Amino acid sequence: NQKAFIFDLDGVIVDTAKYHYLAWQKIANRLGIDFTHEHNELLKGVSRIRSLDIILGLGHVQASDEDKNAWLTEKNEDYLSFIANMQADEILVGVIEVLDWLKKKDQLIALGSASKNARPILEKVGILDYFDAIVDGNDVTNAKPDPEVFLMAAQLVGKPAKGSIVFEDSVAGLQAANVAGMISIGIGDKTTLHEAQYNFNDFTEIDTEFLETLVNK
């Protein structure tokens, strides 16, 4: 049996949410918008442009397209400077063990991320070669909770949606996986991620017995 195992990036493989937060905070502060860690939760799995709209909404700030574009560029430049020195030690616990097991068992591994910076991040942390397919924010027109990103990933590795597995840390991402008819696995807080079919706090809680059942489903 061979299945498509599709991984989200931010919050599943690496904790880049902290870098997104720092970069957005700079813009928000300048506009006098209070942007807290709790607010940052709203941006998980959400596209860059939608993230800006959410932040502006928090502060009831109206802006021209020109201003918005300038802020989007600035945010991404700051974000790029934060991720510039990322290394393998920023891979979240248990991820490598699961990737190694999947490779050993000849399973298909794909990325399904909203980020336009996914490839350079995988490269920096040294795991690009594990992936049989990469679908990111540059490839899709519809953001999560639309299932496009995951459907494209399964298609690229030649597997049907049914039986494909998605690891996600965001509500929007889990909704996308469910709409696609895939097996959704929430990584993180069980209460927040209650829409997942299975929940784990992190990858160290996922044992090979469980992975084996997914392969044979």
Q: Which residues participate in catalysis according to the annotation?
A: 8, 10
Q: Pick one of 27, 33, 47, 147: the residue that binds ligand B16 (CB under 6 A).
A: 47
Strands 133-135 and 165-168: unpaired
| Minimum CB distance to ligand B16 smaller for 19 or for 206 | 19
Strands 133-135 and 198-200: unpaired
| Minimum CB distance to ligand B16 smaller for 76 or for 155 | 76
Asked whether 131 and 119 are in contact (CB, 8 A), the reply is no
Provide the 10 A C-beta neighbour count for residue 123: 12
- Locate 207 and state its tokens: 């044992």
Bridge partners of 112?
135
Interaction of residue 3 with ligand B16, rule CB under 6 A:
no
Summarize the annotated binding site for Mg(2+) as residue ranges.
Answer: 8, 10, 168-169
- Locate 6 and state its tokens: 């599709």
Q: Which does 161 bind (CB under 5 to 8 A by kind): ligand B16, Mg ion, none?
A: none
String of contacts with ligand B16 for each residue 166-205, x by CB under 6 A: ----x-----------------------------------
Q: Which does 148 bind (CB under 5 to 8 A by kind): ligand B16, Mg ion, none?
A: none
Residue 163 CA to its chain's centroid (Å): 20
Torsion angles phi and psi, residue 206, rounded to 5: -95, 110
Say how many residues touch ligand B16, by CB under 6 A. 20
Rounded to whole angstroms, how far apart are CA atoms 155 and 95?
A: 23
Binding site for ligand B16 (CB under 6 A): 8-11, 20, 43-48, 51, 76, 113-117, 137, 170
Binding site for Mg ion (CB under 5 A): 8, 10-11, 45, 169-170
